[in-house]
Amino acid sequence: MKTTQGLLQLSTLALWASSIWVVQATGFRLPDQDAFATARGEAFAATADNPSAIYYNPAGISQLEGHHVRGGAYGIYLHPTYESGGTSYDNEREWHGIPQLFYTYGPKDYPLSFGLGLYSPYGLSLRWPQDTGFRTVATEASLSYFTINPVVAWRLCPQLSLAAGVTVNRAEVDMRQGLVWPTQPFDGFRFKGDGWDVGYNVGLLWKPFEKISLGVALRSTTTVNLKGSTESFNDVAIPGVVPASPLEKVHAETEMPFPLNVVCGLSFRPTPAWNLEFNADYTDWGRLGTVTVHQERRPVLLPAQDVPLSFNWEGSWYYEFGVTRYLNEHWSLSAGYIFNENSVPDANYWPVVADLDRHFFSAGTGFKGEHLTFDVAYQFGYGPTRTVSGSAKSATGQSADGDYEYLSHALLLSFGWRF
């Protein structure tokens, strides 16, 4: 009995490490916030000529006169896979949908423009089958992160604009992991919490030459105080060891840091019919250091009331290239490519993210009328096999070692109206 309780304590500590790590995974950042931008491989910071500039580079809204509303949805099919010992496993949460809505107002002959964005810069979820070889390392996690973003842009001169905004952010987290018995698919441990925080974003758009424009955008760090509870459960009683679910529920909270993001872009327009752009997009996941989980009281399954957790994340880059061909004053075609670096070394690897280098290819078309605009884009994502070895083991001896691959298909639709 004492041995079993000791294993429960160690396994629960491992759960906390994986759970909090899940929220910060590169795989849960959502850079796709507009169909036109996604068709161009997200290379949009130096173009930023529709209301979604509120997200990509808020200085770009200074190019929009009058009232503009633009909304859309990002639908994605996620299919990471894991293979170990000749057996392959698939993610069980494959379909996701994320909406966006943007509004801008640029008074005529006035240097200031105003905007409001509603979008989700982080999100999605993963759930692995209960019979994987790492269920006591991690089983599933979900994150909802919603941002309300008012911005103001100032056009200093025809060639230069600056912008700043406030981000009001709400995060909701639900994370689970198996406990001790690798062959027992009914036990687990859960943390569920939510909270708010406020940050900011700034942008610059500069056109030093007629055919060249430069864009820089920064999104600040946020630290959300997640308040909720931890819960251990076992759906089937084990005589002499544990009763049936639930075992215990304890109020808990933790401060969850979200990263700084900076993007720099260069757009080259050799003729009015062509727009080529390259962006370098950096996310500072390295700020995730030690996170401490505070609980109202010490649970039976944990050796301490406060549990400090240390991580060794690394910052990662998106390298984005896009091209648009304007066929006439109404129609355009776009294509793009992204290379996304992984950010988690093998020693800290957790399967609920399946982090690895990824390649994204996209294409789309758009229409711009006097009042109505719309764009549609398709994006294909591929991550070549990453072999993980030497990852941390849970109390049962399970680890995340194995081969991981990534595959995704996404469709984006965006509609706008000018009035």
Instruction: For residues 400 and 419, give the distance between their C-alpha atoms in angstroms, rounded to a whole number.
Output: 54
Structure tokens given for 144: 């909802």
Residue-wise pLDDT tens for the chain (419 aa)?
Answer: 443 444 344 344 433 333 333 333 455 789 999 999 999 999 999 999 999 999 999 999 999 999 999 999 999 998 888 888 788 878 877 888 899 999 999 999 999 999 999 999 998 788 777 777 776 666 777 889 999 999 999 999 999 999 999 999 999 988 777 766 556 666 677 788 999 999 999 999 999 999 999 999 999 999 999 999 887 766 555 555 555 555 678 899 999 899 999 999 999 999 999 999 999 999 998 887 777 778 887 766 555 677 666 677 789 999 999 999 999 999 999 999 999 998 888 887 777 777 889 999 999 999 999 999 999 999 999 999 999 898 877 767 777 888 889 999 999 999 999 99
Structure tokens given for 230: 């931890």
Beta strand extents in 236-296 (DSSP E only): 248-258, 261-268, 274-283, 290-295
Task: Report which of 60, 38, 35 is spatially closest to residue 215, judged by C-alpha positions.
Answer: 60
Main-chain phi, psi angles of 35, to 5 degrees: -65, -40
Sequence-separated (6 or more) residues with CB below 8 Å from residue 171: 23, 122, 143, 144, 145, 146, 194, 195, 196, 197, 224, 226, 256, 258
The residue type of 240 is G
The owner of tokens 């105080």 is: 225
Strands 248-258 and 187-209 turn out to be unpaired
Q: Sign of torsion, CA 48 54 60 64?
A: positive
Angstrom CA distances, 258 to 13, 145, 166, 394, stand at 22, 10, 15, 26
Strands 212-219 and 187-209 turn out to be antiparallel
β partners of residue 321: 278, 337
Task: Report which of 179, 176, 286, 301 is spatially closest to residue 228, judged by C-alpha positions.
Answer: 176
The residue type of 296 is E
The CA angle 397-398-403, to the nearest 5 degrees, is: 140
